[in-house]
Amino acid sequence: MPVVVDVLSEIAKNVAMSLPPVRAWRLRRPRAGVSYTGSIGELDRFAFLGLDLLTERVGPLAGRSVVEFGPGDLLTSGLAMLAAGAARYAAVDRFAGDYGGPEGRKWYTAIEASWPAKYPAVPWPAWLEADKFPHAYPDRVTSLELGVERVPDIGQFDIVCSFQVGEHVSDIAALANATKALMTRGGVAVHRVDFGPHGAWEKYRDPLTFLRLPDLAWRWMGSSRGTPNRRRVHEFVDAFQAAGLIVELHNLEVFESTRIDRSKLNRRFRAMPPESLRTRTALFVCRAS
Ligand SMILES: C[S@@+](CC[C@H](N)C(=O)[O-])C[C@H]1O[C@@H](n2cnc3c(N)ncnc32)[C@H](O)[C@@H]1O
């Protein structure tokens, strides 16, 4: 399909989302990953991925407090972190889902049921009952329906994290500043960012097709829809450093075979380092300097 057709169709979707009745209807509908079907890999992707990345990069969660930006429609990742021993968990998301509703209960009970096989060495805590999560645990679970740009003083946490969120945040300096502000002295932050194409732009053979579009067209396509901000990996590194954090990059996935034709890219991307343009996903591990 020619790029222009996708551009027009994305602009139409964005205009529709700017209409209050359409927006209200869309926000009531479940978003990515919310319907639990029991298929293989679903729990790994939507419940255990964050825990596994944290354990890999910062060690066991036992006794540590965690704040997660943008957990999504349900607190599946938070339940897994508490089951793994986290002392408390806070969620900060621009749009809170129906965390305690029936769909959530399906996910939470599936997490508890699959736990012994997935983590045989980590016993499920006796105090934690999946079908009472999260409402029965106000001392351990808090949630704020706010963007990271406006996080109030909610104390500090041993671990600040997010998974597939940084690319949707409109102000990455705010993400970096909130990370620093919420981190305990000696704490650590782990942010996984997906720099690849999303939605309509995933089907193109050249994965960087979405970086060709002018900023104005990109805004017309996404200003009401939380589409990716197209900020690149080195811009995140700069933002974390400007917030006073020391940054390490891990788990890099790159578009290896992509030949970058700079002349086709939007002017803003033409001078960027090739390794930054090529990065598909990255894990930022940040500590206070
Ligand atoms: C692609 S979803 C990722 C959800 C989940 N972390 C996952 O891996 O499936 C992005 C999430 O980030 C949230 N989000 C977007 N911008 C945000 C912001 N500025 N502050 C906090 N959350 C934000 C969205 O509401 C959404 O829940």
In a domain, 24, yes or no: no
Local confidence pLDDT in tens for the 289 residues of the chain: 689 999 999 899 988 988 888 877 776 666 555 678 888 799 999 999 999 999 999 999 999 999 999 999 999 999 999 999 999 999 999 999 999 999 999 999 999 999 999 999 999 999 999 999 999 999 999 999 999 999 999 999 999 999 999 999 999 999 999 999 999 999 999 999 999 999 999 999 999 999 999 999 999 998 888 899 999 999 999 999 999 999 999 999 999 877 889 999 999 999 999 999 999 999 999 999 8
| Encoded tokens for 226 | 């939380």
Candidate from 68, 76, 94 with most ligand 1 atoms within 8 A of CB, to mutate: 94
What are the residues whose beta carbons fall under 8 Å from the beta carbon of 246, sequence distance 6 or more? 286, 287, 288, 289
Pocket of ligand 1 (CB under 6 A): 33, 46, 69-72, 92-95, 147-149, 163-165, 168-169, 226
Asked, for residue 223, whether it belongs to a domain, the answer is no
Tally of domains in the chain:
1
CATH number for the domain including 189?
3.40.50.150
Asked if residue 65 is part of any domain, the answer here is yes
In a domain, residue 39? The reply is yes
Q: Is there a domain that residue 122 lies in?
A: yes
> Is the pTM for the entire model greater than 0.85?
yes
8 A C-beta contact, residue 46 and residue 107: yes
Q: Which runs of E-coded beta strand occur in 106-182?
A: 141-145, 157-163
b/e for 237-250, b at 16 or more Cβ within 10 A? bbbbeebebebeee
Distance from Cα 69 to the centre of ligand 1, integer Å: 7
Distance 14 CA to ligand 1 centre (A): 18
Tell me how far the alpha carbon of residue 52 is from its chain's centroid.
Answer: 14
For atom 24 of ligand 1, the residue with the nearest CA is 70
Q: Whose CA is nearest to atom 4 of ligand 1?
A: 72
Residue 216 lies in a domain: no
Ligand 1 atom having least distance to the Cα of 149: 19
Structural domain boundaries enclosing 160: 31-195+232-288
Specify if 159 maps to a domain. yes
Does residue 268 form part of some domain? Answer: yes
Give the distance, in angstroms, between the CA of residue 279 and the centroid of all CA atoms in the same chain.
16
